Structure 1
């Protein structure tokens, strides 16, 4: 079959395709045609958008979630993620699935693959196999597979002293602002008053700080938390449970995955796609929010002050107000016309 457009990291793997001809687990794989080139491989994804594309193209061959699929494999490949803490967890999880097999790391040089190769060395003697397309491929033989790591044991837990009482936050590796409250969310937490009553959405929920605060402040409102990342979804569920709160938590790719007839969308929107900066999800939110809001429904979000979001908000939603500005961030509010 034709390879079509292939991620550079996938191209590097395919330069040594004979190493990956057996039962291989590809973790964090891109949504390209790699599975079509490696017929015995299986994917593991924690990105809902990439999972959806892979599932459509290669039905039944990808697993979605925060833990690897059951069973053992001849080899496992980690496509380098952004977070060092997540990389440590993923290496341990993959090593547990390849007894007497090979563990591989592939990633872009500018994303820090050489640094991550030192993390791989915790599992044995490492070696660099290839360097091409601005990417590197490393490997490590696994003689004795470690036990499956306990993801919950790696969670960071902290308490926020809010005006209505302390809020417990549980953050898993790889989640935005892991183990701390970022400045944008801190500012937005101070400006959650006066939202319309009805169904509320925390878009890009991360560890669930905003969602849990909303549920506590508006206990009679239905609440949905949405994020593209399985580790964020799991973190939000843990944060809600730690505070005795209940809400719907969903994995989905962007605002298209959100419910309709919402009273309000509250967001500290994402600006990363993997290791790269990307405002696509936020810009799509601004263009499509009106389709998910009731008449008079409100979009309230925090964003870096330098981003030119107000014209986009006013074009697609309604008059944009700046509710607050501090520390390089602004809180914007707009109601559907």
Structure 2
């Protein structure tokens, strides 16, 4: 289903961009109509959507270009309230005075409450509803104290005064219970060239650098560009002779370019709001192809996820090392 985000333009409530006008867009997952191609700079840190949009010919970037200004802005909301707020605040700072910011979301993404929240800075000019979604738009005023907007941006949550995490990331503000369980088994198993599949903000890799003396190389693979940049910062101050590599890749579609002695992973099992066991299965297939002949996959998963069949198909041997607190630790060898 096409997003109602563009509805105010198709219904001619708002004027479509004119030649030379450029809008910045957050949150787009589906490819817009081709007429928008010359006008959009799409910010999409999620690798699968980035590839889809860029391959369709749209100017797509994984992160904003600081200091750029735009004639307008678009925001498609997701389920992460603080990230939505941050993006809206950035649009209000980046869009020129007189430009419009158009926001779209449903009840789950909190569109109505975000509209009310935004009213403390700029009142909504108008809105419309369709298919359980709300679209509202704001006009950036001539006088807007952008220093106040900058102060209101959520800069994330630090864990143990050392790990940075940002809204919208997996395990924001906390160490995932399954990942913590996995780290107990890493020192005895990790050796040689190691890869972290679905590295997130870098917790498993940080523990590997600190507690696994037999590793000689470490590569982090992550589809969320923002999380990968946070992982880079989280690992920067760990004293180690191993220099980590950081790879923005969608492992369900893009295979690593080398093979490893050990792979660690806490694979994702959600696509948006829906559980999707095929994501973890794709990670397992990818790991089987990326391991050296005598390599090892050390995996943590929710206990209910049915990975045993795919493990039996892809690996010569697999075993459960532990089952605790709703998680299972699996060791597999090709």
Place the TM-score, normalised by the shorter chain, in its bin: 0.7 to 0.9
Q: Can you list the C-alpha shifts for 1:141-170, whole angstroms capped at 9, x where unaligned?
A: 22126258489971322228xxxxxxx311
**RMSD across aligned positions (CA):** 2.6
Does 1:267 find its partner at 2:258? Answer: no
Quick one: distance in 2 between partners of 1:324 and 1:213?
A: 19
- Structure 2 residue aligned with 1:200: 194
Q: Give the secondary-structure state (helix, strand or coil) at the position aligned to 2:192.
A: coil
Alpha-carbon spacing, 1:145–1:249, altered in 2? closer, same or farther (3 Å):
farther
Superposition deviation, residue 23 in structure 1? 2.1
- Equivalent of 2:69, from 67, 72, 97? 72
Secondary structure of the residue aligned to 1:154 is coil
Q: How does 1:125-144 map to 2 (within 5 A)?
A: 125-126=123-124, 129-143=127-141, 144=144
TM-score for both structures, normalised by structure 2:
0.86
Task: Give the conservation status (yes or no) of the 8 Å contact 1:157–1:170.
Answer: yes
Q: What is the CA deviation profile of residues 198-230 of structure 1, one whole-angstrom value per residue up to 9, with x for unaligned ones?
A: 221111111101011112223542101111111
Q: How far apart in 1 are the matches of 2:249 and 2:125?
A: 37
Aligned to 2:89: 92
In the alignment, which residue of structure 2 is the partner of 1:328? 326
Check whether the contact 2:5–2:135 (CA below 8 A) recurs between aligned residues.
no
The residue aligned with 1:41 is: 40
CA distance in 2, matches of 1:131, 1:115: 15
Shift of 1:187: 1.1
Say which SS state the counterpart of residue 62 (structure 1) adopts: strand
Contact 2:82 2:154 in 1 (8 A): no
What TM-score do you get using the length of structure 1 for normalisation? 0.86
Select the residue among 299, 313, 316 that pairs with 1:315. Answer: 313
- Which sits farther off after the overlay, 253-262 or 263-272? 253-262
Give the equivalent residue in structure 2 for 1:50. 49
Q: C-alpha separation between the residues in 2 aligned to 1:30 and 1:227? A: 18
Measured against aligned partners, the alpha-carbon deviations of 1:240-277 in whole angstroms (never above 9, x if no partner) come to: 01434541112111252434311121111122333443
**Matching of residue 146 in structure 1 with residue 146 in structure 2:** yes
Say which SS state the counterpart of residue 123 (structure 1) adopts: coil
How many positions carry a matched residue from both structures? 322
Q: Partners of 2:74 and 2:311 in 1: how far apart?
A: 41
Task: Give the gaps of 5 or more residues in structure 2.
Answer: none
Correspondent of 2:119 among 118, 121, 146: 121
Instruction: Give, in angstroms, the shift of residue 90 of structure 1.
Output: 1.2
Cα shift at 1:319: 2.4
1:54-103 CA deviation, whole Å, 9 max, x = no partner?
A: 222215x11212x3565211211111122222122211222111131222
Evaluate the alpha carbon distance shift between residue 24 and residue 221 of structure 1 in structure 2; reply closer, same or farther with a 3 A threshold: same
Aligned residue number for residue 165 of structure 1: none
- CA apart distance, 1:14: 5.3
Aligned to 2:220: 225
Task: Judge which range, 221-230 or 147-156, deviates more.
Answer: 147-156
Distance in 2 of aligned mates of 1:243 and 1:85 = 29
1:25 paired with 2:7, answer no
> Where in structure 2 are the equivalents of 1:146-185 lying within 5 Å?
146-147=146-147, 149=150, 154-159=155-160, 168-185=162-179
Range with greater deviation from structure 2 (250-259 or 91-100): 250-259
Task: Give the gaps of 5 or more residues in structure 1.
Answer: 1-5, 161-167
